[in-house]
A and B are shown apart, each in its own frame.
Chain A
Amino acid sequence: MNCRRVEKLIPLYVEGDLAPGTADRLASHLDWCGRCNWLADEYKESQSWLRTSEPPEFDDAFLDNLKAGVLSRIEETSARPSLLASLVQQWSRKQILALSAAMLIIFGVVVFYIYQARMSGRTPVVERADQAPDVESPPSNETRQNGVTETATGAGLGWRHHHKSLATSKSQGGNPTSEEQTFEPPFVSQTNQMAASKTVPLDPTSTLPGSANDSPEMLRIEIQTSDPNIRIIWFAPKEVESP
């Protein structure tokens, strides 16, 4: 055991806080090491000095004062009822029932108000989803081409507007342009709903040249799936109405 280790253990050694084996080894070190022995004596003196401090004498008056203080505080604590108990003591049963009913009504009103606020908060989202295709579609171009001036204001009006412009162009003897054919109805793709279908006259310059040339009038049904990249296009011969 070297001096450095002994120095660390001396504070415990002087009061017998070391394990017997360690204490014996330390004692044998102290037998020959004068410096460590001197340090151990210093610690012993320090401990004796610490123990010279006796607590002051507490006279009877001081002790009586302490006891009276404790008992009065216990009395105060036991005399002071809890909030619920004081409410029960002060108020009659009818008053407590009325208070409970009032609190229940207030709670119900608050819940209803929150529910209403949530429901009204959803509407603008739907409107925005419906208005989005109007922004995407170029109605100004159409109106310029067809000479029809309409303003789309509500949900799905853009699609109706397009139909109207198509009908106008048809009635005016004009052929629908390819731009008009590729125009899509305003699907509410943002809300992941299945899109609507649309029937348009097939253009000879369509993507299906063979079949399109064979029959002049075909039904083209487009279904927009929830995936914006997948669109189902279905061509079907148009039924000839019997005169």
Chain B
Amino acid sequence: MPGEVADIALMTDSLGLRDNSSKTAASSTASVVERVKAGDPAAFEELIDSYQRKVLSTAWRMLGNREDARDAAQDVFLRVHKYLKGFRSDQDFAAWLYRIIVNVCRDHMRKRGSPHQFASFESEREAGTLGALASEEDVEANAIRSQQRTLIEEALDTLSIKERAALVLRDLEGLSTEEVARVLGSSQTTVRTQISSARAKIKQYRDRVQNRTRRG
């Protein structure tokens, strides 16, 4: 599957763990990028196929909503199409793509302004997010998972835009501090400060939820 290969390439590029197979995948990404730059529309579709899951999941972690994530992913690919001509072959495509994702999500968060609506279990089931539910046990498990996801989303929503971006890239996307700093255009010290503050806030929120549950 070309999508999976590209996803692996994206992750290994980000983590700096490039073995031979990932190098091959990266070189195939580079050739696809060159074809897109040459004006091949099929190559751009290939690029979308390769990266859309990764873009969607990162956008979802940043925005916490399927619909917002889809809109953001569309904007990301439009920006990729627009600015790919200026992309140099010696640049890291994954880092470049992450930068676009973060910028687009920031724009969406600023536009949205007010706290977003978290997807409830029912709305996710209606939207087909949870897939076909086989049994009562599955329903219960999915309900618990959905509730957990909502709580985590609420915790992430207590962070500032910059803190959230840093935390998502470092802790959920698995980038190193140096890579996060490169993507966000900040110093490593700034990123460490943001990550430290974000982790403390997440813990604080979790403690509050746990205390509430114990009392309730």
Contact = CB atoms under 8 A, between A and B. Distances in A.
B53 A46 contact: no
A56 to B, nearest CB: 5
A108 to B, nearest CB: 41
A12 B171 CA distance: 11
Nearest to A14: B199
Given A46-B203, A53-B149, A67-B52, A74 B81 contact: yes
B98 interface: no
Contacts of A67: 45, 48-49, 52
Nearest to B149: A53
A66 B200 contact: no
5 contacts: A8-B196, A47-B202, A49-B152, A50-B172, A71-B48
Nearest to B71: A69
B77 interface: yes
A46 B148 contact: no
B54 to A, nearest CB: 10
Interface residues of A, number: 34
B203 A12 contact: no
B172 A17 contact: no
Contacts of A8: 196
The 4 closest A-B pairs by CB, nearest first: A55-B57, A46-B203, A53-B152, A11-B199
B61 A57 contact: no
Given A66-B73, A70-B78, A11 B171 contact: no
B18 interface: no
Contacts of B207: 42
Interface in B152-168: 152-153, 155
B46 to A, nearest CB: 11
Contacts of A12: 192, 195-196, 199
Most chain B CB within 10 A, of A55, A63, A69, is at: A55
Interface string B177-205: 10000000000000010011101101100
A15 B170 contact: yes
Nearest to B129: A56
A172 to B, nearest CB: 92
Interface string B107-133: 000000000000000001000111100
Given A55-B57, A57-B129, A66 B171 contact: no
Contacts of B53: 58, 63
Contact of B74 (A42, A55, A56, A70): A70
A32 interface: no
Contacts of A69: 70, 74
A80 interface: no
B203 A43 contact: yes
Given A15-B170, A17-B192, A58-B56, A47 B78 contact: no
B93 interface: no
B131 A57 contact: yes
A50 B202 contact: yes
B206 interface: yes
Nearest to A59: B128
A49 B195 CA distance: 16
A94 interface: no
Contact of A17 (B74, B131, B177, B206): B177
A171 to B, nearest CB: 91
A43 B197 CA distance: 12
Most chain A CB within 10 A, of B45, B66, B203, is at: B203
Contacts of A53: 61, 148-149, 152-153, 172
